[in-house]
Structure 1
Amino acid sequence: MRCRLKARILRALRVMAAAVILLSLTSLPASGAPDPGAAGPSRSETDIAGGETVSLAEAPFAVQIAYDTAGTRVACTGSQISASWVITARHCDSASLHSVRLDTPSLGTGGVVRTIAARYPSPAGDVLLLKLSSPHSGIYAGLSRTFPAAGSVARVFGWGVETEGAGAMSAQLKAAAVEVSGHGADAFGGLSVRAQSRTGHPLAGDSGGPLMVGGKLVGVLSTSSVLPGGVPSSFTGFYNDHAAVSRHLGWITVVTGVGGD
């Protein structure tokens, strides 16, 4: 009798521990992550600090994730991977996520808007696939089959301001150089590509945005270090974790039909 009671207690403790772990994983968004249900990017929804403004030709696959049907309440970033599919971060998912804006470097204007027909969160980490309501031909981000080597030069893209909590996203697409430092964990405990910031640093509104190495999409921004007040003299003391595309590639191919290179 005493042994059976002890076994029941141990099982109960294991269930409680699992629940605590699950809650801790699902409530851990990117640093300063936007509330998708908030009234658009008027609050502290910042993107790349530092970096530089770039033309659409630098990242024609970059898309804006919007929390209205008009494509104006932008709060996350994504990448188009085929005519019908966009990839972004799972923590950007919300009942109010309704559309994406494609083919424009300008925030909330230009290009084309597509509403979301279906969404598929990855079971293995911070990745979300969005199926567009109708196809849109464009230049797509190629998916990497391999995890990038430490020391690889990489770039991140998004629509951003210069300081954390500044309260306004950049009117134009921005980019920054980062360097792959190794493995890490994303907001849901999945494998991440950890990168050290160089010329700039991605922040909350960049969530779901592309990490590019050698012209291939190797990661989806999940979390990043919180910057101190103001603009630091160097960004090299700050890191960011991107859900590893290679870890999710098999699942991505099953859902979308898009393979890797």
Structure 2
Amino acid sequence: MRSRLKGRGRRAWRVIAVAVLLVSMLFAPSIPGFAADPAGPGPVETDIAGGEAAAASEAPFAVQIAYDSAGISVRCTGSQISAAWVVTARHCDSASLRSVRLGTPHLGAGGTVRSVAARYASPDGDVLLLKLSVPHAGSYAGLSRTIPSPGTAARVFGWGDQSEGSGAMSSRVKAASVAVWGPGSDAFGGPSVRTQSRTGHPLSGDSGGPLIVGGKLVGVLSTSSVLPGGSPPSFTGFYNDHAAISHHLKWIADVAGVRAS
């Protein structure tokens, strides 16, 4: 397993990945674990690492986390949980994190861009709350009170890379089916919902993206297995850890005033 640190210097083991993250946060001038932001998102396709293009209605709360004020330099995914708040992964945090693009399936285009007024990192796991500078009335992800049982079918969403190490994100939000495997731990040692990929596998850029069961947000993507070159014919041997939302409910309520529905 490895942490999705938004960059290309990826590591196979979580301990190494977190160490790289911490060092990057101390010394990197921009996004931790990232090379300098490119001028644009690069070449794009519809499908990435298997999966399929998602209908906008399937996850209207999915948002793009951007490292510029224009909402173009997207490097993480998140979920809108109220008019003023977005949740993503703590390892996506950076002084370079500037804006959120909401209400569009298209990478770096359409919808509404809001600057980030404040960032709040969970003290107990890989979860980050972003307060929008101006509230945006949209579709909100309901927060789950529970961790689903092993074998439960789930869906993941994001704009991440099309294949391991490609650096080319999807032009539209994509989805993949996964199955809940059991409990695990996230990149910061917090409890996670571990899943096994089925129709596709989340990659860099999907960090912080939603894990959805029964229409509720049960986790945000923290780490995932490193794929062999390209996309394998089957993803059933590869795993993901999603920071468990149920573990952070009190903290989310205290910071953002958003409670489980």
- Band the TM-score falls in, shorter-chain normalisation: 0.7 to 0.9
Whole-angstrom distance in 2 between the partners of 1:238 and 1:228: 10
Tell me which residue corresponds to 2:119. 119
Question: Would you tell me which structure has more helix in proportion to its own residues?
Answer: 1
Whole-angstrom distance in 1 between the partners of 2:148 and 2:48: 22
Whole-angstrom distance in 2 between the partners of 1:227 and 1:25: 16
Tell me which residue corresponds to 1:199. 199
1:76-125 CA-to-partner distances (Å, cap 9, x unmatched) read 00000000000000000001000000000000000000000001000000
Q: 1:34 to 1:110 in 2, by over 3 A?
A: farther
Give the alignment of 1:1-261 within 5 angstroms: 26-27=18-19, 35=33, 38-40=36-38, 41-42=41-42, 48-261=48-261
Whole-angstrom distance in 2 between the partners of 1:202 and 1:34: 20
Whole-angstrom distance in 2 between the partners of 1:26 and 1:205: 17
Whether contact under 8 Å (1:25, 1:188) holds in the other structure is no
User: Which segments of 5 or more consecutive residues in structure 2 lack a partner in the other structure?
Assistant: 1-14, 22-30
1:15-39 CA-to-partner distances (Å, cap 9, x unmatched) read xxxxxxxx9684266xxx9845631
Whole-angstrom distance in 2 between the partners of 1:208 and 1:149: 21
Q: 1:136 to 1:215 in 2, by over 3 A?
A: same
How well do the aligned residues superpose, as a CA RMSD in angstroms? 2.0
Whole-angstrom distance in 2 between the partners of 1:36 and 1:109: 22
Deviation, 1:42, is 4.7
Query: Counterpart of 1:247 in 2: which secondary structure?
Result: helix
* Structure number with bigger Rg: 1
Whole-angstrom distance in 2 between the partners of 1:220 and 1:230: 24
Whole-angstrom distance in 1 between the partners of 2:221 and 2:197: 13
Q: 1:51 to 1:34 in 2, by over 3 A?
A: farther
Whether contact under 8 Å (2:20, 2:33) holds in the other structure is no
Q: Give, as a single letter, the amino acid of the residue that structure 1 aligns with 2:112.
A: V
Q: Give, as a single letter, the amino acid of the residue that structure 2 aligns with 1:227.
A: L
Deviation, 1:161, is 4.0
Query: Counterpart of 1:242 in 2: which secondary structure?
Result: strand
Whether contact under 8 Å (1:36, 1:94) holds in the other structure is no
Q: Number of matched residues? A: 233
Query: Counterpart of 2:57 in 1: which secondary structure?
Result: helix
1:122-159 CA-to-partner distances (Å, cap 9, x unmatched) read 00000000000000001100000111111110000011
Whole-angstrom distance in 2 between the partners of 1:26 and 1:231: 25
Q: 1:164 to 1:25 in 2, by over 3 A?
A: closer
Deviation, 1:167, is 2.3
Query: Counterpart of 1:79 in 2: which secondary structure?
Result: strand
Query: Counterpart of 1:206 in 2: which secondary structure?
Result: coil
Q: Give, as a single letter, the amino acid of the residue that structure 1 aligns with 2:201.
A: H
Deviation, 1:248, is 0.4
Whole-angstrom distance in 2 between the partners of 1:37 and 1:137: 34
* TM-score between both structures, scaled by the size of structure 2: 0.85
Q: Give, as a single letter, the amino acid of the residue that structure 2 aligns with 1:200.
A: G
